[in-house]
Structure 1
């Protein structure tokens, strides 16, 4: 817990340097729930997301008969934190964690869970609930017509684990971007483009690289030949082709997941890659479809601590009002911006430093689209 010298030091810093309304609360760990706590802190300090969630709570708090779900439990938790009288302390996210475990058996055990898997599960659950509520409102007897009911039929097929949006929710507005998968037939030059939505980008990593180079690799051109040939509709046959993935519509909040856990066939298990991957505080995306430069600013990092995928710990670093804070379950402390570099990873394969950036959260600069 935030106690003694560290606690009073934080209290003083918060009083001097932070706005009156901000709250910095550690979250109690209920037996290996650090994967959940670290993601919740990153989302709490994602201001567009927090604002929408608090607004959702304010608009729905009188619906007493509605059943608890992950959205109501999360809105309740964020409201609880933001309305605390003190600036710092500890809160137990018990109701939320119980709801997560009830909803998804993966998170029921006391085993080490994956923070990225949890983030994906959470965002998709929130979207499902918001879509259902929106559709229910549209098809209620007072507002619906038969044409509306047809329009709100089955939701679109899934792309990249995220449902094609029949309804655009505020979760989509925060996190959703669009990728274009372009395939060019090398015989007739026809380009086939397929769009798919994403809530985060999972990037392969290499030793001594950077997010910029990982993004370049992500959208680099790949040649499809031999047994990987592409069936071209125009040629009506399998042809050699070039394929590339581009970001067509960048999201307002760009979430980047570094693929630090790799399956090693010789070992028949996953191994953690402790590679040094530099993630800048300011990131430029220059591989969007219209080549427009798109700038982002880092505001949160979920860090995996430990040498393997099946054990370890998660902590988070968050930026709030130009200051960086470190959240480790119940503990909260201020850190210097320069400390972030210690989470880039290691230049050696085996290193005593096992604290590595795992999920990065960037906010788009220059207003939200």
Structure 2
């Protein structure tokens, strides 16, 4: 990327952000799904900062015990410590570890970037939780004579000799996790039953010529449960017709939205790519939230794009906003693009179009303080 790198440096000139690095990733045979997601995560500043902090404080352990997280931290550290401002890095150690751990990613077939992102974040959570549990066990052992027990690094008073365990909350949860509330209202007695569930990303159904706002409204639209789908109401002690809807109870600091562009078509007996035009705004206001998070605002900072007409072949690239500049990452190549170019990745307004570059995973950062 010598010429391309110098071109990027020239384009940014004295506006090149102090201490920032823009490096393309080498492709090891259909690893673009991995490269595009890693670029989005690298420019997710809170994630990068936490991972580099983890790397610095666990470097001696990382050398002894390699896992997917230490390989990722090592890669991020390599990028951030480069003397050059631009260039190409081979994420070889990370890709080797990924293939070793998960056979799904071993073949040279086209992989799904969303599946990879899900796997990676859950893997990092698992590693952090195991480490937190190990630390907790050490604390408990060292303070077993104390009348209070340590749970996940926090002292939790015992009630009748029972220790109330707090769920482990990692920094991945603090960055990406939101809470959905599933509200079901019995149409006979009007009782509302609410069930909460956590999420690290939102998968949205899409329609032609729509927007993220309308997709979110559909996600939270009211559904009537009747006939065979009746709801068992605890108050009525019987099956009743009910209305159900999903709302965002607590929005995450980083909102990851996955557009369901690959749909199984029964008549065809296979998956088909939906090239629908779905407008994703640079600034997004969430309206389907509960108080006190009404109208929380987000700013788009990364998009993983699927290039191609079908689900089993194609390519992935990413668009990233860094220090108010938009960059286009395509494996080894990195170039600057105008903000207005982002809308060329909304999708096609006609079913048959030569445009095959469509936004697939969107990364939004909350503009307000994390609550």
Structure-2-length-normalised TM-score: 0.93
Q: Is the 8 A contact 2:303 2:319 kept in 1?
A: yes
Equivalent residues in 2 for 1:200-239, closer than 5 Å: 200-239=201-240
Q: 1:143 to 1:346 in 2, by over 3 A?
A: farther
Q: 1:122 to 1:287 in 2, by over 3 A?
A: same
Q: 1:24 to 1:143 in 2, by over 3 A?
A: farther
The 10-residue stretch of structure 1 (37-46 or 228-237) with the greater mean CA deviation from structure 2: 228-237
Distance in 1 separating the partners of 2:361 and 2:57: 31
Alignment match of 1:25 (pick from 23, 26, 34)? 23
Distance in 1 separating the partners of 2:202 and 2:151: 33
Distance in 1 separating the partners of 2:150 and 2:326: 48
**1:77 paired residue number:** 75
Q: 1:274 to 1:144 in 2, by over 3 A?
A: farther
Cα deviation, residue 148, structure 1: 4.4
Deviations 1:214-272 (A, max 9, x none): 00000010000111111111111111000000000000000000000000000000000
Give SS of 2:184's match.
Answer: strand
Equivalent residues in 2 for 1:272-283, closer than 5 Å: 272-283=273-284
Q: Is the 8 A contact 1:256 1:359 kept in 2?
A: yes
Equivalent residues in 2 for 1:144-223, closer than 5 Å: 145=144, 148=149, 166-223=167-224
Cα deviation, residue 62, structure 1: 2.3
**1:161 paired residue number:** none
Runs of 4+ with >6 A deviation: 149-152
Distance in 2 separating the partners of 1:222 and 1:145: 52
Distance in 1 separating the partners of 2:84 and 2:142: 44
Q: Is the 8 A contact 2:135 2:152 kept in 1?
A: no
**1:155 paired residue number:** none
In structure 2, stretches of 5+ residues that fail to align are 154-165
1:289 paired to 2:278:
no
Cα deviation, residue 18, structure 1: 2.3
**1:160 paired residue number:** none
Distance in 1 separating the partners of 2:32 and 2:143: 44
Structure-1-length-normalised TM-score: 0.93
Q: 1:167 to 1:150 in 2, by over 3 A?
A: closer
Distance in 2 separating the partners of 1:173 and 1:282: 22
Q: Is the 8 A contact 1:139 1:145 kept in 2?
A: no
Cα deviation, residue 64, structure 1: 5.7
Distance in 2 separating the partners of 1:189 and 1:228: 17
Cα deviation, residue 103, structure 1: 1.1
The 10-residue stretch of structure 1 (315-324 or 63-72) with the greater mean CA deviation from structure 2: 63-72
**1:314 paired residue number:** 316
Give SS of 1:62's match.
Answer: helix
**1:157 paired residue number:** none
Cα deviation, residue 12, structure 1: 1.6
Q: Is the 8 A contact 1:343 1:356 kept in 2?
A: yes
Deviations 1:71-108 (A, max 9, x none): 10100000000000000000000000111111111001
Give SS of 1:86's match.
Answer: coil
The 10-residue stretch of structure 1 (84-93 or 226-235) with the greater mean CA deviation from structure 2: 226-235
Q: Is the 8 A contact 1:14 1:87 kept in 2?
A: no
Give SS of 1:205's match.
Answer: coil
Equivalent residues in 2 for 1:1-369, closer than 5 Å: 2-4=1-3, 6-63=4-61, 66-140=64-138, 143=142, 145=144, 148=149, 166-290=167-291, 292-369=294-371
Q: 1:207 to 1:235 in 2, by over 3 A?
A: same
Give SS of 2:64's match.
Answer: coil
Q: Is the 8 A contact 1:139 1:148 kept in 2?
A: no
Deviations 1:37-95 (A, max 9, x none): 00000000000000000100010112266310011010000000000000000000000
Deviations 1:95-144 (A, max 9, x none): 00111111111001111000000000000000000000011011016545
The 10-residue stretch of structure 1 (54-63 or 271-280) with the greater mean CA deviation from structure 2: 54-63
The 10-residue stretch of structure 1 (11-20 or 35-44) with the greater mean CA deviation from structure 2: 11-20
In structure 1, stretches of 5+ residues that fail to align are 153-164
Q: Is the 8 A contact 1:182 1:243 kept in 2?
A: yes
Distance in 2 separating the partners of 1:256 and 1:39: 13
> Number of paired residues?
356
